[in-house]
Every structure is written in structure tokens, then in C-alpha cells.
Structure 1
Amino acid sequence: MSLKKIFTLISITLCCIVQAQTLHLYGGSNQDQYLGCLNCDTFDKNSIWNAYSDYGNAFGSKSIWNTHGNYGSSYSTYSPWSNYASYPPAIVDQDGNFFGYLTLNAYKSERSELELAQILCQYHDAIRTDINGWYNKLFR
């Protein structure tokens, strides 16, 4: 199956399942640091897909896309992109329901099984170089 067909199927699935609820990321050792909205659109000020927001900016201190920050570095214990993170971001909905941790750490219990989380983990390096393009592939 071609990559384009895979993205089309993923997009349809995500639009139908994930868009039904707003998902947020919380990081830090107590998951008390807000890190943005996981499935909000690119115009939302809290969206990780908004390159001009605190959470979608590649240089933002609260952005999972900042390769030098606590929440985006592949070496940080708070980053989803660290294979050894002890405190990766938690995914919760607007009602506080927990959907697991966004993490590459295969040994972290309660790793998220959401399809969106798995896509982010698999393609995070590519996504951070074209956030808007990936948003369009995944949600449009």
C-alpha cells in the first residue's frame, strides 16, 4: 500500500475517532506542566500544530518540537522522544480522562495506544520539520 493511501486511511480514522474529543498533553514529573492540545487545529493558540504558539513553536520552552528543550529533546526524561524518559507527557481529554503517555520508551507502563500517539512517535523527526504539512496529512 502506498504512503499516500496509508495517510488517507489514517486521516479518515483520526477525523472520526480523535476529533470527537479534545486531547491535551501535560508534562513534568507531576504532569502539571501544560504542553498543548494534541488534536486542535493549526489556528488554535494551544495547538502543538500551530508553529506560532508556545506549544507548536520549534523554539518554545513548552514545545515537544523543540529539540533542545526539556519536552522535545531526545535525551530529556520529560520528552516523548527519549527512549529512556521517566516522565513523558500524559495525554488527557478535557474531562481529565487519561489516554496513556506519549513516549518512545518501550518500557514505560501505560504507554498510549492511540493511533495518533503511535504516528507521532514513529514520525516525530519528520513531523517537526514540516508541522503544518503533517497536520494536513493527518487531519484534513
Structure 2
Amino acid sequence: MTTTKIFTFLSLLICCLFQTQTLHLYGGSNQDQYLGCLNCDTFDKDSIWNSFGDYGNLLSSKSIWNGYGNYGSSYSTYSPWSSYASYPPAIVDQDGNFFGYLTLNPYKSERSELELAQILCKYHDTIKKDISGWYDKLFR
């Protein structure tokens, strides 16, 4: 299967699965720091896909895409991209239901099994280079 076909399939799958659920990230040792919306539109101010907002901007301290920040560094205990993170972001829906942790840490219990979380973990370095392009691939 070609990469284009895989992304088309994943896009349809993600779109259908999460169309009614708005998923959010909360980080910090108590998961009390809001880190944005996982599946909101790229123009939504809270979206991790909005490179002009607090949560999608490569330079924002609240962004998982900021490679130098607490929530985006590959070395931070609060980052999903750290293989040793003790406190990676939690994924919750608008009703507070828990969908696991967004993390590369293979030893973290309750790692999210959501397809979207797995894609983010697998491709996070590539996504950082083209956030809006990846939004289009995944959700349109």
C-alpha cells in the first residue's frame, strides 16, 4: 500500500472515530496544564494544529511541538516525545473521560492506544516540520 493510500485510509478512520469527540491534552505532574485540542480544526485557537496559536506554535511554552519546551523536548519528563517521561500529557475528551497518555515511553502504564496518538508518536518529528500539512493528511 502506498503512503498516500495509507494516509487517506487513516484520515477517513480518524475523521470517523473522533468526529463527535473533542480530545484535549493536559500536562504537568498533576495534568493541570492545558496543552491544546488534539482533533480541533487548524483554525481553532486551542488546536495543536494551529501554528499561530499557543498550542500549535513551535515557540510556545505550551506547545508539544516546541522542541526546547517542557512539553515538547525529547528530554523533558513532561513531554510526549521523551522515551523516559514520567508525566506525559493525558488525553481526555470534553466530558473528562481519560484516553491514556500521549507518550513514547514504552514503560508508561496507560499509554494511549488511540490511532491518532500512535500516529503522533510515530511521526512527531516529521509532523513538526509541516503541522498544517499533516492536519490536512489526517483530517481532510
TM-score by length of 2: 0.99
Match status 1:132 vs 2:107: no
> Which residue number corresponds to residue 87 of structure 2?
87
What's the Cα RMSD here? 0.3
Question: Which residue identity does 2:41 align to in structure 1?
Answer: D
The alignment-based identity, stated in percent, is: 80
The DSSP-based 3-state class of the residue aligned with 1:25 is strand
Would you identify which runs of 4 or more consecutive aligned residues in structure 1 move more than 4 Å?
none
Looking at structure 1, the residues matched to 80 and 49 of structure 2 have their Cα atoms a distance apart, in angstroms, of: 16
Alpha-carbon offset, residue 135 of structure 1: 0.2
> Which residue number corresponds to residue 78 of structure 1?
78
Looking at structure 2, the residues matched to 52 and 84 of structure 1 have their Cα atoms a distance apart, in angstroms, of: 29
Unaligned runs of 5+ in 1: none
Looking at structure 2, the residues matched to 104 and 19 of structure 1 have their Cα atoms a distance apart, in angstroms, of: 25
Unaligned runs of 5+ in 2: none
> Which residue number corresponds to residue 61 of structure 1?
61
Looking at structure 1, the residues matched to 96 and 109 of structure 2 have their Cα atoms a distance apart, in angstroms, of: 19
> Which residue number corresponds to residue 5 of structure 1?
5
Alpha-carbon offset, residue 19 of structure 1: 1.9
Match status 1:121 vs 2:121: yes
Looking at structure 2, the residues matched to 131 and 42 of structure 1 have their Cα atoms a distance apart, in angstroms, of: 9
Q: How does 1:20-59 map to 2 (within 5 A)?
A: 20-59=20-59
Looking at structure 2, the residues matched to 15 and 119 of structure 1 have their Cα atoms a distance apart, in angstroms, of: 14
Question: Which residue identity does 1:100 align to in structure 2?
Answer: G
The DSSP-based 3-state class of the residue aligned with 1:44 is coil
TM-score by length of 1: 0.99
Looking at structure 2, the residues matched to 129 and 109 of structure 1 have their Cα atoms a distance apart, in angstroms, of: 29
Looking at structure 2, the residues matched to 19 and 66 of structure 1 have their Cα atoms a distance apart, in angstroms, of: 27
* Residues 1-59 of structure 1 deviation map (CA, whole Å, 9 limit, x = unaligned): 10000000000001100122000000000000000000000110000000000000000
